[in-house]
């Protein structure tokens, strides 16, 4: 079965790089119009250029997902640009911790929770009324395998991603009868700037990261994009409230 999309417009946050950029490109390749949101304007514009170079349609909208006024304005600009919103991929996230739980700072806690949890909540808060008004849609939030189990030396990050799954499941049930599906994607280690910052400086860490996955390698951004598109497509019409691990088998061990 090929993926079909009844909707026409997708919004991706954190789309200036990594998983978000790859997913924005994948939506565009399926013929959807894409709102590319990020607080990194240069990276966001570069994503739009790549989409347009491939013959697709996209608009960059600058937004810091931790600020409610900016998130509200983002949704207004999506509607101004494209008249509707069918799919939202709430993906902007950060990982800045490097130590054990007792070594974390209050500033780190607030920063990680601000982007990863409050950002996802604010996005859904301002997307759901648009989807309700149109009679449905699909939302995918980026959690992590760190949202499904322990993540030593990344406890704040793990807590933030468990919270994303809690938000996802609760929203899925609240809006299940309104034709709004809400799922989360849970990547293991994926080759992005975030991964390179955390692992690649030290070759031993990079080797360890590959070995954590039964398939023997870290994941590719396109492999997460494919899962997100599946969760949005018409074929996933009976799938809601799920936290889908895309992890090279790592959570199956
Ligand atoms: P990345 O750092 O390459 O991209 C993250 C993007 O989010 C960047 O473009 C950044 O500018 C944007 N962003 C950060 N804070 C923002 C804010 N306040 N407002 C708007 N945009 C903001 O990272 P990535 O690896 O592509 O990560 C994407 C998502 O995937 C994150 O939620 C991350 O936690 C999750 N994730 C990544 C991995 C991995 O191994 N790379 C694994 C599991 C989950």
- pLDDT of 200 > 80? The answer is no
What mean pLDDT do residues 32-44 have?
Answer: 98
Query: Given ligand 1 and candidates 21, 68, 118, 192, which is best to mutate, with the most ligand atoms within 8 Å of its CB?
Result: 192
CATH number for domain 9-189+221-245, candidates 3.20.20.70, 3.40.50.720, 3.40.50.1820, 3.40.50.800 = 3.40.50.720
- DSSP 3-state helix, strand, coil percentages of the chain (rounded to 5)? 55, 15, 30
**82-86, 197-201, 215-219, 248-252, range with the lowest pLDDT:** 197-201
* Catalytic residue flag (residue 157): yes
CA nearest neighbour of 50 among 221, 184, 218: 221
Which DSSP symbol is given to 110?
H
Q: What is the pTM of this model?
A: 0.98
Cα of 177 vs centre of ligand 1, distance in Å, is 31
Ligand 1 centroid – CA 83 distance (Å): 27
Res 162: pLDDT: 98
Q: Which of 45, 61, 92 is the pocket-test mutation for ligand 1 (most atoms within 8 Å of CB)?
A: 92
How far apart, in whole angstroms, are the C-alpha atoms of residue 9 and residue 219?
A: 27
In tens, the pLDDT along 221-241 reads 999 999 999 999 999 999 999
Read off the pLDDT of residues 102-126 as tens digits, 9 standing for 90 and up: 999 999 999 999 999 999 999 999 9
Report d(CA 45, CA 186) in Å as an integer.
Answer: 27
Structure tokens, 160: 């933030």
For the chain, the domains span 9-189+221-245
């Amino acid at each position: 079965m090929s993926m079909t999309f009844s909707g026409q417009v997708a919004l991706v946050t954190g789309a200036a790089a990594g998983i978000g950029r790859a997913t924005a490109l994948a939506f565009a390749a399926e013929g959807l119009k894409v709102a590319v949101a990020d607080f990194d304007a240069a990276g966001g514009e570069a994503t739009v250029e790549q989409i347009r170079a491939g013959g697709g349609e996209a608009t960059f909208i600058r937004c810091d997902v931790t600020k409610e006024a900016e998130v509200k304005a983002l949704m207004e600009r999506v509607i101004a640009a494209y008249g509707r919103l069918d799919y939202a991929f709430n993906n902007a996230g950060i990982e800045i911790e490097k130590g054990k739980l007792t070594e974390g700072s209050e500033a780190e806690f607030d920063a990680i929770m601000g982007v990863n949890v409050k950002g996802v909540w604010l996005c859904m808060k301002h997307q759901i009324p648009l989807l309700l008004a149109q009679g449905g849609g699909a939302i995918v939030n980026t959690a992590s395998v760190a949202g499904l189990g322990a993540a030593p030396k990344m406890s704040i990050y793990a807590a933030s991603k468990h919270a994303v799954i809690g938000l996802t499941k609760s929203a899925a049930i609240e809006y299940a009868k309104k034709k709004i599906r809400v799922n989360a994607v849970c990547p293991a280690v994926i080759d992005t700037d975030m991964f390179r910052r955390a692992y690649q400086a030290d070759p031993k860490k990079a080797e360890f990261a590959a070995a954590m996955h039964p398939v023997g390698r870290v994941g590719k951004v396109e492999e997460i994009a494919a899962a997100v598109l599946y969760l949005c497509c018409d074929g996933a019409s009976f799938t809601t409230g799920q936290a889908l691990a895309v992890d090279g088998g790592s959570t199956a061990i």
